[in-house]
Amino acid sequence: MTATAQQDELRVLRFSSILTALFAVGAVAVALVSDSETMTLEAMSGLVDVVVSLLAIYVVRKVHEPANSRYHFGYLKYEPLMIGLEGTLIAAVCLTAIAYAVRDILHPDPVDDPRLVIIYALASFVLSIVFGAYTKRVGRRAKSNLVLAEAELWIIEGWLSLGVCVAFLLAVILSRTPTAEYSAYVDPAVCIVLSLIFLRKPVEILRESFADLVDANPYAETTNIVEESARACVERYRLKAVQWVRVRKAGRRIFVIVSFLENPEESLEERERVRQAVDAEMGRLNPDLDVSVLFRGA
């Protein structure tokens, strides 16, 4: 990643943390005034987002630091660790919100001022979609998975806010009909639906971050590309065979180790030439890969 791309990454994450904090303050205020479970969920998830966005700024700075004697592969694992923490916090918020919403269904408690919720949700929809689109463009330009994930969260939040806006508009309309008593169930029902939708994201996040942290093989497609290139090197440089290929992922970097069985009849000079050629060819395979090439006697 270039210095300019890193600056763009940090700038958009700082902007995201400021905007997230403003949304969280607004959601807390609306939740207190309206006594809405949906807005309480929004406020709690907003506070989680503030913590995560601040951690993201720290992590982005940290992952670019070089390896040292203590951390031989650098600080790249900080990224999946932070993402896993985000998933855990979001899941905890959603499960807590569902519990409170079920309580409200058993003991209905009408929202005091649904108009505040409608105004907040509409503003949240517009700002989240616009900022999400901008963040996605920056993420693609900077080639930052962290920023792209942040953009997806903003866009999801925006469409969910539109759903909240429509639901509470229907609740206001329902409150002016003979079936007004049913309007009290709109808030906890919307809260449960949103929580269940939100829960899909932390499940995916936790699965991916866990696989990253335990060094699971990240991408079958990447492995196939590496293996095809390795087999091509065997034929091109008259090596004996590919002994094995190992792939691990650490945040935004993928580490590949390829072990070849070399031809023992070759001279030392020829072996060294082949080593350099294969190392260079494997290194050009993908700029996101960190490739190490080993040679062993057949």
Dist. CA 87–CA 89, nearest whole Å: 6
- Using one digit for the tens of pLDDT, what is the confidence trace for 225-281? 778 888 888 888 888 888 888 888 877 678 888 888 877 777 778 777 877 887 787
Find out whether 91 and 203 touch, Cβ atoms under 8 Å: yes
- Using one digit for the tens of pLDDT, what is the confidence trace for 193-232? 877 877 887 788 788 888 888 888 776 666 677 788 888 8
23: which strand partners? Answer: none
Dist. CA 245–CA 173, nearest whole Å: 63
Domains in the chain, CATH or no CATH each:
3-213 (1.20.1510.10), 220-297 (3.30.70.1350)
| Sequential DSSP letters for 203-270 | HHHHHHHHHHHTT----HHHHHHHHHHHHHHHHHTT-SEEEEEEEEEETTEEEEEEEEEEPTTS-HHH
- How many Cβ atoms sit within 10 Å of the Cβ of residue 68? 9
Residue 217, Cα to own-chain centre: how many angstroms?
18
Phi, psi torsion values for 296, nearest 5 degrees: -130, 150
Who contacts 229 (Cβ-Cβ below 8 Å, separation ≥6)?
281, 282, 285
Q: What is the pLDDT of residue 133?
A: 92
**Angle of CA points 99, 210, 17, to nearest 5°:** 65
Q: What is the pLDDT of residue 221?
A: 65
Read off the tokens for 187. Answer: 């808030």
Dist. CA 163–CA 152, nearest whole Å: 17
Q: What is the pLDDT of residue 220?
A: 67
Look at the pTM and tell me if it is higher than 0.75. no
Q: What is the pLDDT of residue 207?
A: 84
Q: What is the pLDDT of residue 222?
A: 61
Q: What is the pLDDT of residue 129?
A: 92
Q: pLDDT by residue for the chain (298 residues), tens digit each? A: 566 777 887 888 888 889 888 988 988 888 888 877 778 877 877 887 788 788 888 887 888 788 888 887 788 888 888 778 877 877 877 787 788 778 777 777 667 778 888 898 899 889 989 998 998 898 888 777 778 777 877 887 788 788 778 777 877 887 777 766 776 777 778 778 877 877 887 788 788 888 888 888 776 666 677 788 888 888 888 888 888 888 888 776 788 888 888 777 777 787 778 778 877 877 777 666 788 888 887 6
